[in-house]
Chains A and B, each alone.
Chain A
Amino acid sequence: MLKNAASQMAGVGSNPLRHHHNKLWTWPFILAVFAILALGAISLFTGVYDIRGQADGKEMFFTTRVPRTLSLMLTGAAMAMAGLVMQLVTQNRLVEPTTTGTIEWSGLGLLSVYLIFPAPSLLLRMTGAILFSFIGTSLFFLLLRRIKLRSSLIVPIVGMMLGAVISAISTFVGLLFQMTQNIESWYIGSFSNVQIGRYEYLWIIVLVTVLIFICADRLTLAGLGQDVATSLGVNYNRIIFLGTALISLAVGIVAAVIGNLPFLGLIVPNIVSMFRGDDLRSNLPWVCLLGMGTIMTCDILSRVLIMPFEIPVSLILGTVGSAVFILILLKQRRSARTPR
């Protein structure tokens, strides 16, 4: 066997290079880009107001339709990426902003801002949401380190319990100060209020995407655990801190501008992982695209299902997401049973 190995070694230099990084611009990816563009076009021309027939159609188009479609794309990418980074950092497939309490914390952050400042600006609300989601997510990660039994199910259960406690606090505070309406409308995330002047902060997500791309390999390494990361010379705690900051930034912005969007961060990364594995750098464009596609499809559905009314998009996402969550659970159980 060793002779065999030795002869293989001798031939190394003459072997053609075998690259492993998945190519990005493959036919499926180009098709996916076109599919997203098509969905975007449908989203632009879906709505009760007849933008082609009315005199102020063009104005309406640029005031509401374009911002709505753009914000759909940006939030879709943001939530999908937040879920992906979270799954790497916790080494758990069932984790995303709604199963870790991050969303609930950002809700509490918004509420706190409303309590402290009368009529707060969007920037102020956003800052509160980002800050609180950072505190909450860090707390959750610290809690996880103390838990010995880190089976794949325990982690999201702990997160959901934590989230339930936080949302109970929010409700209590809301009742106490008569602000329940604020919370209730927030928990039902919807894009119906998006118009020019109210969504521009979402562009920060582009910056988050770039940062995640820069740290991609480090984050993938964090997914291999503290020991492997340390052995390869990466400061594990620093990368976890960075990951948490990026997640909070993305979730906080979306929470302040749009509201609660459940399960997007769960569905998208799991589907991408199934087909392409977990090499973050080459997967990131796919995760963004699929995030955009999923939320645009759900939003278009939310607008046409009971036309001329609108269903909140979080309702559709929640339904689809729960189904996918259960499917992943079942699949995990099956693969755990089959002998390797």
Chain B
Amino acid sequence: MIQIENVKKSYTSEAAIGPLNIEIPKAGLTSLIGPNGAGKSTTLLMIGRLLDSDGGRITVADMDVSSSKSKDLAKVLTILRQENHFVTRLTVRQLAGFGRFPYSKGRLTNEDEEIISKYIDFLDLTALENRYLDELSGGQRQRAYVAMVLCQETEYVLLDEPLNNLDVARSVQMMEHLKYAASEFGRTILTVLHDINFAAKYSDRICAMKHGRIAAFGTVDEIMKPELLTDIFETKIEIMQGPYGPIAVY
């Protein structure tokens, strides 16, 4: 469970986030949605201890993220940001192997190698595992980063806009993988998504943010309501029932 109590972050007097109070239950895929500047990424970064909060308390699996040892947290939660420009030339397999760092500190055991193989196969990267990252397409590279994050085998996986720069096919594929990782590997995945319909189709829960506050949190059906979404995005949004569930039309 991710618990956020009275968490605040202030940039300027106008742009401030919080106080945030939310409990995100274990397991399943939770999406953070909301307009630009609502504080989705900031919230995610604070949970992932990449950004310090200015007050309040965040615990992940009963560990306080600001006071727990980073190397202990690395076995419980992992976070992947949206912009990854690596100058470092690594192969897909080497990158994924770094996901095992919290356990093996770089000395990979046979068990580590099996885990790496497992996630590389899972993300359809088997044929590419010895290719360098700079030789891959954007979608392939994104999957390689996700492979690294999954190799960390943490209970909690935080992803900041994993669909950024991916086309529809690549996005569907990525969400299928994440959904599968949540249901079959029992991971708790928290992800920032821009596309409401991707969030609706693949999430177990949706958390909507606006102006640095949590506007609504609930199941897909609870959030996919025209008045609620219209209010959050300040744009006329209708909900239709599609073949795979509710669809937002704007």
Interface residues of chain A, those whose CB is within 8 Å of chain B, are: 1-2, 5-6, 8-9, 12-13, 15, 17-21, 87-88, 91-93, 152, 216-218, 220-221, 223-228, 230-235, 273, 277-279, 281, 335, 340
Contacts and interface: CB of A to CB of B under 8 A. Distances in A.
19 contacts: A1-B173, A1-B176, A5-B124, A6-B184, A8-B121, A18-B93, A18-B129, A20-B129, A217-B101, A220-B90, A221-B98, A223-B88, A231-B74, A231-B149, A232-B152, A234-B71, A235-B70, A277-B90, A278-B90
Given A5-B180, A20-B93, A234 B101 contact: yes
Contacts, number: 124
B101 A12 contact: no
Interface string B115-133: 0111001101010011010
Contacts of A93: 87
Contacts of A8: 121-122, 126
B70 A230 contact: yes
Contact of A278 (B50, B89, B102): B89
Interface string B83-125: 0101111110110011101100110101001101110011010
Nearest to B154: A231
Nearest to B172: A1
Interface residues of B, number: 55
A292 B154 CA distance: 43
Contact of A18 (B90, B98, B113): B113
Interface of B: 48-50, 69-75, 78-81, 84, 86-91, 93-94, 97-99, 101-102, 105-106, 108, 110, 113-114, 116-118, 121-122, 124, 126, 129-130, 132, 134, 136-138, 149, 152, 173, 176-177, 180, 184
Given A17-B114, A231-B78, A232-B101, 18 more contacts: A2-B180, A5-B122, A12-B114, A12-B121, A15-B117, A19-B108, A20-B93, A220-B98, A224-B88, A227-B50, A231-B149, A232-B78, A232-B102, A233-B102, A234-B70, A277-B90, A279-B90, A340-B137
